Structure formats: structure tokens, C-alpha cells
């Protein structure tokens, strides 16, 4: 397996760690140790979210912020967590020469451990960045609902990797518009030809829904290369995760260290937001 942007050791380590909602301790311990080894600044809030920072800003600059969540829905992971065991991973090469990774009869938990791998890989490869890893997304976005909002005071935009497949992204979550038409046409539309991001969907919820409302920043949620999520047959495609890292780095270079502020208004109170929402509905129906 030849990946350009993800280290194999990181890939297999994260995917082998069992995690479950309210039982994210093993993943949290890994992230803390990873931050220490990389000499990233980090802290943990009262609910268990993990915050990391790399590099420092110049005047009038803002951090890109990447997010993923630590918990999974795979109940078979609970016993492994309590017994301090790891998940046995199986790797297979497909006919298209891509590699899938899964855990037989356990459920991999690629939602959203794949996002963690992608976020850390991007952070490793750029000079200045913030990351936040949330607890309890799968049981109601509790981690992001109780996030330390002061952490986002110098953040310019938020990029999450918690959408299934590789060619899929969210344009809204629970009816909350994540970005406007101008942002899409200026920065995101070109990702189709460059990275195969061809499908935008109105998703039910993920952490960027909370962040969009509470920070008024542009948020994005991209495919993390996981399939059959929330099932025992879940798997990830390593090369698609690698492509997601390349796309994230490219997009950060395009967006630069600027702020993309977009006031949040409920649709019922804003005709302008209604018009934007209707444009996305029509475009991506």
C-alpha cells in the first residue's frame, strides 16, 4: 500500500483503537500521547473533548480548524475497551488496486476514526493549524454542544471529515446551511474535478452543525472514506482517505489564514438564507 499523505503506522494504530460513546478514554489517551510526541499544544475540557494547536499566527491571521469525533456506535468495542485490547484489522486489495480495511464481526468504527486519521495527517503536514476531537457525537453531538467556544476566537473556518464515502460532502446539517453559494462557487466547486468531490448532501447532523450555529464561521464536512457506517460490515478505503488529506491541504492553501465569517440565522427569520437554502436544494436535488 503506497499512500502519499497518511503514515501507515498512524492509519492502523487509530483504526485498531476501540471506542464507543461515553467510553472514548482509549482514543483520548492516544490523542494526548500523539500531541506530546509531536509537541503540539493540547488540553482536554471537562466533558473530554481534546484540543490541539500547532504553530503560531502572524498579525491578522486565523487558524484553520479541523474536527472529527472520537466515539463510534460499535457495541462490540465495549468489551475490548474494558479489557484493554485492540481491534484485529483485516486489509484486502480490491480489483481497482485500492485497499479496504475492516474488522470482521466487530464493526470498524471508521465513522469517525477515519476522520481522526485525516485530521492528524493534515495537521502533521501544514505549519499552522488547530484540531478539535469531540466526544459523544453519536448520541446527540454532546461534545460539540458543550465545546469551549473561546478556542474558536482566532479560528477562520472549520473543516470536518465525518461524511461517508469519499465523493460526498454536506451542504447542510439538520437544515443549517454550512456555507453560502459564493463560498461554494469560489472554493468548493473546483474540488469536483481535482479530487472527485461530486456529491453534496443535506445530512441529518454532525458536530459542525453545533459549531456553525455557535461560532458563525463557515463550516465544511467532507467524506472520510468510510462505507457501510454503523454496521458490522463497515470498512474504509485507505487511498480515499489519503485523497481526503490531499484535498484538505489544498483547500487550506486556497483559503489561506483568513476568516470566513457567515452570520447564522434560522431559516424562519431570514429570507436571504431561505434563498440560499433553496438554491442548494435545487442544485443538489
Q: What is the pLDDT of residues 50-76, one digit of tens each?
A: 999 999 999 999 999 999 999 999 999
- 190: confidence class by pLDDT, cuts 50, 70, 90: very high
Residue 247 sits in a domain whose CATH number is 3.40.630.10
1 falls within a domain: no
Q: What would the pLDDT profile of 214-241 be if each residue is shown by its tens digit?
A: 999 999 999 999 999 999 999 999 999 9
Whole-number Å distance between alpha carbons of 234 and 73:
11
201 falls within a domain: yes
pLDDT at 273: 67
The three cell numbers locating residue 259 = 476568516
Q: Is this model's pTM higher than 0.85 or not?
A: yes
Q: Which domain holds residue 218?
A: 8-283
Indicate if the pLDDT at residue 265 is higher than 90.
no
158 falls within a domain: yes
207 falls within a domain: yes
Number of domains in the chain: 1
C-beta neighbour count of 56 within 10 angstroms: 10
24 falls within a domain: yes
16 falls within a domain: yes
Q: What is the β-pairing status of strands 90-93 and 63-69? A: unpaired
3 falls within a domain: no
90 falls within a domain: yes
Instruction: Give the burial class of 250: count Cβ atoms within 10 A of its Cβ; 0-12 exposed, 13-18 middle, 19 or more buried.
Output: middle
Amino acid at each position: 500500500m503506497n499512500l502519499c499523505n497518511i503514515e501507515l503506522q498512524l492509519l492502523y494504530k487509530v483504526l485498531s483503537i476501540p471506542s464507543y460513546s461515553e467510553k472514548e478514554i482509549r482514543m483520548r489517551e492516544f490523542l494526548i500521547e500523539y500531541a506530546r510526541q509531536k509537541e503540539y499544544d493540547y488540553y482536554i475540557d471537562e466533558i473530554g473533548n481534546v484540543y490541539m494547536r500547532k504553530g503560531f499566527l502572524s498579525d491578522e491571521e486565523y487558524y484553520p480548524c479541523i474536527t472529527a469525533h472520537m466515539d463510534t456506535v460499535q457495541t462490540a468495542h465495549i468489551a475490548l475497551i474494558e479489557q484493554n485490547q485492540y481491534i484485529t484489522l483485516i486489509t484486502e486489495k480490491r480489483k481497482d488496486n485500492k485497499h479496504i480495511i475492516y474488522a470482521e464481526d466487530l464493526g470498524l468504527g471508521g465513522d469517525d476514526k477515519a476522520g481522526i486519521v485525516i485530521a492528524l495527517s493534515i495537521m502533521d503536514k501544514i505549519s499552522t493549524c488547530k484540531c478539535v476531537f469531540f466526544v459523544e457525537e453519536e448520541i446527540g453531538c454532546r461534545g460539540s454542544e458543550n465545546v469551549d467556544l473561546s478556542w474558536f476566537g482566532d479560528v477562520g473556518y472549520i473543516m470536518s471529515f465525518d461524511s461517508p464515502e469519499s465523493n460526498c460532502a454536506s451542504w447542510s446539517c439538520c437544515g443549517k446551511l454550512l456555507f453560502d453559494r459564493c463560498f461554494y462557487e469560489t472554493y468548493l466547486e473546483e474540488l469536483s474535478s481535482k479530487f472527485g468531490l461530486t456529491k453534496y448532501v443535506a445530512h441529518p447532523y454532525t458536530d459542525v452543525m453545533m459549531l456553525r450555529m455557535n461560532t458563525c464561521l463557515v463550516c465544511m464536512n467532507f467524506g472520510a472514506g468510510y462505507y457501510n457506517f454503523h454496521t458490522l460490515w463497515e470498512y474504509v478505503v485507505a487511498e480515499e482517505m489519503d485523497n481526503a488529506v490531499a484535498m484538505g491541504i489544498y483547500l487550506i492553501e486556497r483559503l489561506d489564514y483568513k476568516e470566513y465569517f457567515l452570520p447564522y440565522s434560522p431559516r424562519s427569520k431570514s429570507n436571504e438564507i431561505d434563498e440560499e437554502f433553496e438554491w442548494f436544494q435545487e442544485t443538489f436535488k
